[in-house]
Amino acid sequence: MASQGAPRRYLLISPAFPPMSRIGAKRALHLCRNLPQFGWEPVVLAAPPRDNHVDPQLAESLPPALLVSHGYAGVLRSLVHRLIRFRPLPFEETPVHRQRRLRERRVLGQDLGFLAPFDQYFYDTAMAIHRGAALVRRYDLEAIQVNADPWSALLAGYAIHRL
């Protein structure tokens, strides 16, 4: 079912995006490849693929005219990663330590690692809001879609919507 007329553009916020090989990147890839036939053309806001598993074949699968901004990550991310990367681990985790750590993350039977927006992209939320809002203004985008997980992308999408 092909749409008539000019395609409508929307912002797709997806921190994981090809050439990253995470499952979320593949989900976003399929959206970018299939939604244009229904009259929707995405403009993608993604994180740079520097710290993730990369599959160059995924990048080759993207539509050639797709607009992708890898501006999701900001300066704060690189500073935090430097601090974390060079911090020595205090001990080797034993099964007892692992159980205690997992128990501390649980509240009311739920794992906060999956429910809270404090994921690996949380520090990038401010930059994502700034750059996403700029993309909405520049390309006069009609809608915003968030490819969630990481959940902090939902915060960015909501803030851009409010702006």
Give CA–CA dist 43/75, Å, rounded.
Answer: 22
User: CA torsion sign, 90 to 93 to 99 to 103?
Assistant: positive
- Hey, which bits of 7-150 come out as E strands? 8-13, 40-45, 67-69, 106-107, 110-111, 143-146
The model's pLDDT over 112-150, given as tens digits with 9 standing for 90+, comes to 455 556 777 888 899 999 999 999 999 999 999 999 878
Residue 28 amino acid letter: A
Quick one: pLDDT at residue 123? 81
Please give the share of the chain, as a percent, with pLDDT higher than 90: 45
Sequence-ordered list of residues with C-beta below 8 angstroms from that of 109, at least 6 positions apart, any chain: none
Quick one: pLDDT at residue 150? 83
The residue ranking higher by pLDDT, 45 or 87, is 45
The model's pLDDT over 11-49, given as tens digits with 9 standing for 90+, comes to 999 999 999 988 889 999 999 999 999 999 999 999 988
